[in-house]
Amino acid sequence: MADNTVNLTIDDKAVVAPKGMNLIEAAKLVGIEIPHYCYHPKLCIAGNCRMCLVDVGMPKLGADRKPEIGSDGKMVVMFGPKLVIGCNTTVADGMVVLTKSPKVVKAREGVMEFLLINHPLDCPICDQAGECRLQEFSVDYGKAESRFVEEKVHKPKKTALNAKITLDDERCILCSRCIRFMRDVAGQDCLGFIQRGSHSTLTCYLGNEPKTNYDLNIVDICPVGALTSNDFRFQQRVWFLKQTKSICPNCATGCNTVIWSREDVVYRQTPRDNNDVNQCWMCDYGRINYKFINDPHRLTTPSVKSATLGQRVNLTWPEAIRQVVDKLRAAKRDSLAVIGSARATTEELYLLKKFSPSFAAYIPRVGTGDNFLLNTDRNPNAAGAMLTGFSSDYSVIADGIADGKIKTLIVLGEDAIVPELLAKLELLIVLDILPGKTTEAAHYILPGVTFAEKSGTFINAKNRIQRLNPAIPPLVGTKPEHLILSALLAELGGKRYATIQEVFADMTRDVPALAGLNLSKIGDSGVEVKS
């Protein structure tokens, strides 16, 4: 027994747990689920749902203060007169925990029954169905038949907690997770229970609604459908959705996310656990900012601004590549600049840099931050841009265009240079996803993809390289940027990369900070790199 661990038994399984751990976490270590509602690893203990009741015993100590051995050769264990809640019980040496004894089974059935007697029959219209812990624990631990024949308690349904969240008080099981979150994590003490007893109702004071950038996290932590996101309301049943692990592209924190999609449409994003980045939270701004992925105005075909026709002409991809390559070959290398976006992946920036070693810049993006997750640096990959050799000062390029030194510009996903300057360029090639001033001015548009449609990496403000995974395939007609860029480079005499892994491999050679890494090693939690 080390100094900082404790030996105990849970359901006849030997467990070695760190000191101070509670029984719910200790049971998880050996794959045993202790069902719970109000407990949350990142919030203070409430102990009010009573779902995690377990039978706990300690060895009976004899007069010599050593454990007594019974006639069967086993340690005599004294169980408490009552069950105790697992969330508030700390592991102790010699502790014996039963999570499936008849007493515990009956207690769970009792608690489930109590939770359901006043619960509305909303499953068919409730968003939480499919990820609802009331449903899951009812089937796993509760009785299958109801014996409640009285009138249920009625409370306000479908009230607007704020513009983003709908509150249904009848579904609420009064676990108080949302109250604790708003008060202790989001920093706005605005939720509470009014009335008493069975009529207790969750509410907020009129005029003092949740107003933080983290409100939607309470929808995540609500175990039932009492708090639902208006953005996702009635959009999709969750069992139809595919979950893809990704990273939020809205600021340099790089919260770990899950993208939920079905048949090429993204329906919502939720945070993913990563104790080194965002614990299990994300901000509302990043969470809601995904609608552009399925925006009907997405660019879906390469095109060229035809001088003769005076309008834009669509091209096939092979034709577009061919024309762009021809034009790039004709262009002088030292008058070629690239503007990369720090919202692009490191791999894309690495390839883009190859076009112009001397004039490469990204566009910094600054916004208000808070002291929690939202970073003032609104680019997810400024670190990646800098590592791959992009300067944060694009005025050099702007000036270069103004005095005619720079005649060719490749822009990846930015809209920063003013149209008057862009008009001076001889050749403007733009890779982007949505139309803007730059695409309007572009000679060639090569439509790219959003963060949800590609693999790649971002490096966050704490120098953590994290991996994107594609949730949906590239929109028809678009291509992931690294494929576009590597096709161009290959035609210009460079290496032909077939996969992103190959790009990454080369990148690790050329960027010392990334040496020894590959996309597998980055995994789901990312890896810290040296700056």
Partner 1 sequence: MATEHQIELMESAARAQEAGDELRGERMIINMGPQHPSTHGVLRLVLELDGEEIINVWPDIGFLHRGDEKLAENMTWTQFIPYTDRLDYLAPLANNVAYAYAVEKLLGLEVPPRCQYIRVVCAELARISSHLLGIGTFGMDVGAITVFLYTFKEREKIYDLCECLCGARFTTSYTRIGGLANDMPPEFLPMLRKFLAELPATIAEVDTLLTRNKIFLDRTRDIGVLTKEQAVDFGITGPILRATGIEWDLRKAHPYGGYEKFDFDVPVGSVGDCYDRYLCRMEEMRQSIRIIQQAIDNMPGGAWNAPEAKIVLPEKKAVLTKMEELIHHFINVTEGLNAPSGEVYFSAENPKGELGFYIVSRGGGTPHRLKIRAPSFVNLQALPVMAKGHMISDLVAILASLDFVMGECDR
Partner 2 sequence: MTVPVELERHIDEIVTHYPPDKTRAATLWLCHLLQEYFGFLGDEQVLWISNKLGLQPINVWEVVTFYPMFTTKPHGKFHVKVCRTLSCELCGCKNIVAHLRKKLGVGLDENTTDGLFTISTVECLALCGTGPVMMINDETFENLTTEKVDAIIDRIRTTGRLDAQPLPMPLAAHPLEKRVLLSNITKPGYTGSLADYEREGGYTALRKALAMKPDEIVAEVKNSEIRGRGGAGFPCGLKWSFLAKGTGKPVYLVCNADESEPGTFKDRQLISYDPHLLIEGILISCHAVGAKVAYIYIRGEMPGGAKILQKAIEEARAKGYVGNGVEIYVHRGAGAYICGEETGLIESLEGKRAYPRIKPPFPAVVGLFGCPTVVNNVETLANIPHIINKGSTWFKTMGVSGSTGTRLVCVSGPVKRPGYYEFEMGKLTLRQLIFDVCGGLKDGRTLKGVIPGGSSMPVMKADQIDVPLDFESLRKAGTMAGSGGIIVLDDSVDIVGATLNVAQFYAHESCGQCTPCREGTLWMEKMLHRIERGEGRPLDVEMLYEVADNIDGKTICPLGEAAAWPVKAFVTKYREEFEKHGG
Rounded Cα gap, residues 147 and 144, in angstroms: 10
- DSSP per position, 70-115: -TTSSBPEEE-SS-EEGGG-B--TT-EEESSSHHHHHHHHHHHHHH
**Considering the rule CB under 8 A, would residue 433 count as an interface residue with partner 2?**
no
**Pairing state of beta strands 13-18 and 5-10?**
antiparallel
**Considering the rule CB under 8 A, would residue 14 count as an interface residue with partner 1?**
no
User: 400, 416, 405, 482: which is closest to 448 by C-alpha?
Assistant: 482
Contacts 24+ apart (CB under 8 A), 508-517: 510/350, 511/350, 511/387, 511/388, 513/387, 514/346, 514/387, 514/465, 517/465
Q: Where are the alpha helices (DSSP H) in 118-250?
A: 133-141, 177-184, 217-221
Within 10 A of 11 (CB to CB), how many other CB atoms are there?
15
What does 136 bind: partner 1, partner 2, none (CB cut-off 5 to 8 Å by kind)? partner 1
496: burial class by Cβ within 10 Å (0-12, 13-18, 19+)? Answer: exposed
CB nearer partner 1, residue 142 or residue 380: 142
Stretch that binds partner 2, among 20-28, 193-201, 430-438, 475-483 (CB under 8 A): 193-201
**Considering the rule CB under 8 A, would residue 288 count as an interface residue with partner 1?**
no
**Considering the rule CB under 8 A, would residue 99 count as an interface residue with partner 2?**
no
**Considering the rule CB under 8 A, would residue 148 count as an interface residue with partner 1?**
yes
Rounded Cα gap, residues 409 and 430, in angstroms: 8
Footprint of partner 1 on 225-254 (CB under 8 A): 239
**Considering the rule CB under 8 A, would residue 297 count as an interface residue with partner 2?**
no
What does 48 bind: partner 1, partner 2, none (CB cut-off 5 to 8 Å by kind)? partner 2
Within 10 A of 208 (CB to CB), how many other CB atoms are there?
11
Stretch that binds partner 1, among 127-135, 211-219, 253-261, 461-469 (CB under 8 A): 127-135
What does 123 bind: partner 2, partner 1, none (CB cut-off 5 to 8 Å by kind)? partner 1
Among 17, 21, 24, 51, binds partner 2 (CB under 8 A): 51
Mutual angle of helices 481-491 and 500-510, in 10-degree steps: 70
323: burial class by Cβ within 10 Å (0-12, 13-18, 19+)? Answer: middle
Helix (H) or strand (E) holding 242: strand 242-247
Among 2, 14, 63, 144, binds partner 1 (CB under 8 A): 144
Rounded Cα gap, residues 66 and 478, in angstroms: 72
**Considering the rule CB under 8 A, would residue 146 count as an interface residue with partner 1?**
yes
**Considering the rule CB under 8 A, would residue 111 count as an interface residue with partner 2?**
yes
Report yes or no: 129 and 225 within 8 Å, Cβ to Cβ.
Answer: yes
**Considering the rule CB under 8 A, would residue 174 count as an interface residue with partner 2?**
yes
CB nearer partner 2, residue 46 or residue 485: 46
What does 60 bind: partner 2, partner 1, none (CB cut-off 5 to 8 Å by kind)? none
What does 57 bind: partner 1, partner 2, none (CB cut-off 5 to 8 Å by kind)? none
Residue window 302-341: x/- pattern of binding to partner 2, with contact defined by CB under 8 A: ----------------------------------------
User: Facing residues of 202 across strands?
Assistant: 193
Among 29, 75, 117, 265, binds partner 1 (CB under 8 A): 117
Report yes or no: 331 and 323 within 8 Å, Cβ to Cβ.
Answer: no
Stretch that binds partner 2, among 161-169, 184-192, 237-245, 303-311 (CB under 8 A): 184-192
Rounded Cα gap, residues 114 and 107, in angstroms: 11
Among 143, 158, 233, 496, binds partner 1 (CB under 8 A): 143
**Considering the rule CB under 8 A, would residue 136 count as an interface residue with partner 1?**
yes
User: 185, 197, 214: which is closest to 284 by C-alpha?
Assistant: 214
| Total of residues contacting partner 1 (CB under 8 A) | 22
**Considering the rule CB under 8 A, would residue 151 count as an interface residue with partner 2?**
yes
- What single-letter DSSP state applies at residue 456? E
What does 134 bind: partner 2, partner 1, none (CB cut-off 5 to 8 Å by kind)? partner 1
Which residue reads 């900070």 in tokens?
513
What does 124 bind: partner 2, partner 1, none (CB cut-off 5 to 8 Å by kind)? partner 1
Give least dist CB 88 to partner 2, A. 5
What does 307 bind: partner 2, partner 1, none (CB cut-off 5 to 8 Å by kind)? none
Q: What letter represents residue 224's amino acid?
A: V
**Considering the rule CB under 8 A, would residue 151 count as an interface residue with partner 1?**
no
C-alpha triplet 342, 422, 458: angle, nearest 5°: 10
CB nearer partner 2, residue 3 or residue 150: 150
**Considering the rule CB under 8 A, would residue 134 count as an interface residue with partner 1?**
yes
Residues that bind partner 1 (CB under 8 A): 113, 116-117, 119, 121, 123-124, 129-130, 134-136, 138-140, 142-146, 148, 239
Residues that bind partner 2 (CB under 8 A): 45-51, 53, 81-83, 85, 88, 106-107, 109-111, 113-115, 117-118, 147-151, 153, 173-174, 189-200, 203-208
